[in-house]
Amino acid sequence: MRIKEILQDQNKRHKLIVAIGLIYSYVCGITKIILGIFVLGFLYCLSGIDTLFIGISKHIYLKNLEKKSRKASIIVSSFIVLIGLIYALYAIRLFFLENIVKEYSTILAISIASFSFVELGIAIKNLFKKSMNKEPLVLSFRTLSFSVALFAIVNAQNAILMATSHPDNFADGLFGVLAGLIAVIIGLYSLHYTIFFDNKKNDT
């Protein structure tokens, strides 16, 4: 009954989805960092730190959702900028790597691409819909979701190229840097909006 109540309540369902997402980000981020330290090197650690920051941002959002904390919104927006910079830096490395064909299932690649485009579509809809809650914390979270969806599209592109045995590090790097810079720009906008929103409330 408890689970049914959560699924039927939109707010509780939203919190559950965010909670699952942050647990995944924590586990995935820490795993990447550990593997990077002992096996794969600094760049993989960088990817793990990026994923870990995403989890921390979701944690802050979830913890402050009811309070609508301005400070929390500033922190999440700042993390978006940092995440974008780290992702762009991580993607730049691809320009200096040789294209290597790896075993990749076509079905897996199509699945990754499908989920990525659905995630991006939902993120765009939530970010730009007219009825959007104008609270800065909500905007910062939706901006974070949009950024993560962009990164997922880059990963989907990489998976498809691998599955067709035509890896292209230059294309992956280019789109990765572009996705990172977009995240930085919208993160800065979210940060600016938070400060402006707060000042506007004080003026009124």
Tokens representing residue 187 in the block: 């993160």
pLDDT at 32: 76
pLDDT at 188: 94
Rg (CA), the chain: 18
CB 191 within 8 A of CB 72: no
Of 156, 135, 151, the C-alpha closest to 53 is 151
The widest CA-to-CA distance across the chain, in whole angstroms, is 60
- Tell me the C-alpha to C-alpha distance, in Å, between residue 52 and each of 6, 25, 74, 79, 109: 27, 6, 18, 11, 24
End-to-end CA distance of the chain: 45
pLDDT at 39: 65
Backbone dihedral angles phi then psi of residue 131, each to the nearest 5 degrees: -85, 15
- Tell me the C-alpha to C-alpha distance, in Å, between residue 120 and each of 125, 136, 137, 156, 171: 9, 21, 20, 12, 19
pLDDT at 105: 63
pLDDT at 184: 94
CB 142 within 8 A of CB 186: no
Spans of the chain below 70 pLDDT: 1-10, 39-44, 46-47, 68, 99-106, 108-109, 111-120, 122-134, 198-204
pLDDT at 118: 66
Question: What single letter denotes the amino acid at residue 24?
Answer: Y
The pTM of the full predicted model, rounded to 2 decimals, is: 0.73
**Runs of H (alpha helix) within 135-168:** 136-163
